[in-house]
Every structure is written in C-alpha cells, then in structure tokens.
Structure 1
C-alpha cells in the first residue's frame, strides 16, 4: 500500500512537471516573442538535460557492472524496472522546467 501511494505521488509530480514544462515554454515563447535571449535560455536548459541523461546512463552502467561482479543475486521484477525507467525518463521534464525557470531569472 505504501509503495502504491509513493508511486501515485511520483506520477502526479511527473505529470505536473511535464505539463508545467509545456505550458511554461509556450507562455514564455509568446511573451518573449521567441527572441535571442529566450532561445539562449532554451539551449542552456537543453544542455542541462544532456547532462542529466548522461548522469542517469552512467549511474545505470555502474549499477550493471556492480551487479555483474556481485556474489549474491538480487531479483527485481520487470514491472518495477520498467516503472523506475519510466520515472527517470519523465523526470527530465521536471529538471528542464526547473532549469528554464532558474535561467530565466538569472539571465
């Protein structure tokens, strides 16, 4: 029951991040009329996403290597692994939204 509640909260937070990102970008694009400053902010936010994806890939590779040389076996269900991958994939929209908001205020 507890894990289902945590997953529900995470899915809601990820949905808010996804739709917040879309509406934030749309609103700011209209407000700034897609000028050079806004394009620079989007480029920098995309760099943050590339770093995030690289970090996730590196962490997963380390986990796979550690699991390869681990003397004991850890069994995970496929549904939990897919759900975790889903959460990490959609978390990038929340990271992008936060970076867009930060860069918009700082530049």
Structure 2
C-alpha cells in the first residue's frame, strides 16, 4: 500500500484522502486542520529545497497557520510568508482556493530567494 505520510496534498480532495489514510493507518486523532497546516509547511519547505538545490533554509511556524518564518543557513530569519490578502489563516486560504494559495506561496518563495 502507498504510504501517504509524507504526501503533500494539492487541494482539499487530496487533504481528505490523506486524512482518511492517516486515520486508517495509526493516526486516529488526525484532523483536517492538522493536515492542511502540515501541507502548507511541507509544501513551502519543498519549494525552498527545490529552488536552493538542497535543505539550506528551514521553514517554521512563526504563528501557527498565520505566518511562516524562513531561517537561513546560519539560522537567521531571512523573511516571512503570509496568507493571501483578505485571509487571516493559510487554512482558510487553502480551503477557499488551493491553486491561488500555492501561487501566493510560490511568489513569496521566489521573492525571498531573489532578495538573498
């Protein structure tokens, strides 16, 4: 069986698939909210790892579901990533329009890498 533990969902349908898999495979208390938050965190980390050709920067929650902090190679904060305008949380943004969420995240990643 396919292991979805490290799978990064693209949309709410895939969030539901991952949540179902988690509950069926030893994570009975997993929630949709947790899956979305992990999706955002892991997705942005992947974008940086891919763009920088390695895990040189680390993405962490500065304020869970509201603001990501990006740490450089020496642990200094190089920038922050926030939800789209008119959205107070990433999860609300993702639930409303995941393609626009990913586009917003990608633009912010590109801007931070370009300013390095």
TM range (shorter): 0.3 to 0.5
Give the structure with higher Rg (CA): 1
TM-score norm. by structure 2 comes to 0.31
TM-score norm. by structure 1 comes to 0.32
More helix by share: 1
The one of the two structures with greater contact order (alpha-carbon pairs below 8 A, sep at least 6) is 1
More strand by share: 2
